Amino acid sequence: GLGAWPQLMPTLLEAASRSSPRAASRGLCALHRVVKQQASRRLLPHRKQFFALAEELLPRLQPLRTHASALVAALAQRSPEEAVAWLTAPLSPAAADGGGGGGAALVQVATALCKLERQLLLHGWPHLHQSPEPCAVLAHYFDVLVAAEAQQRRLLPPASSGTGYGLPPAAAPVGGSAAATAAAESLMPLLLIPAKLLMELQDLQPLATHAVLPNAIAFFLQQMASRPFEPSPESADEKFLVRALMFLRNALSTSAYLPTRQAPPQAHACREVLQAFFASPSLPQLVTALLTRALPLSAEEYQGEGAMTAAQIPHSVPRLQASVPFSALLCPPLPSFLLRAPV
Judge contact between 289 and 225, C-beta under 8 A: yes
Q: What is the pLDDT of residue 337?
A: 45
Of residues 330, 343, 196, the one with CA closest to residue 253 = 330
The one-letter code for the residue type at 293 is: R
Rg of the chain's alpha carbons, rounded to an integer? 22
Judge contact between 108 and 100, C-beta under 8 A: no
Q: What is the pLDDT of residue 18?
A: 87
Mean pLDDT by 10 residues, the chain (343 residues): 71 88 90 93 88 93 86 90 91 54 87 96 95 96 96 76 39 59 94 97 96 97 91 88 95 91 92 94 90 69 53 49 46 48 38
3-state SS of the chain is: CHHHCCCHHHHHHHHHCCCCHHHHHHHHHHHHHHHHHHHCCCCHHHHHHHHHHHHHHHHHCHHHHHHHHHHHHHHHHCCHHHHHHHHHCCCCHHHHHCCCCHHHHHHHHHHHHHHHHHHHHHHCCCCHHHCHHHHHHHHHHHHHHHHHHHHHHHHCCCCCCCCCCCCCHHHCCCCCHHHHHHHHHHCCHHHHHHHHHHHHHHHHCHHHHCCCHHHHHHHHHHHHHHCCCCCCCCCHHHHHHHHHHHHHHHHHHCCCCCCCCCCCHHHHHHHHHHHHHHCCCHHHHHHHHHHHHCCCCCHHHHHHCCCCCHHHCCCCCCCCCCCCCHHHHHCCCCCHHHCCCCC
Q: How far from the centroid of its chain's Cα atoms is residue 244's Cα?
A: 8
Q: How far from the centroid of its chain's Cα atoms is residue 247's Cα?
A: 10
The one-letter code for the residue type at 46 is: H
In whole angstroms, how far apart are CA 89 and each of 92, 104, 107, 193?
Answer: 9, 8, 13, 24
Q: What is the pLDDT of residue 43?
A: 86
Judge contact between 117 and 58, C-beta under 8 A: yes
Q: What is the pLDDT of residue 299?
A: 58
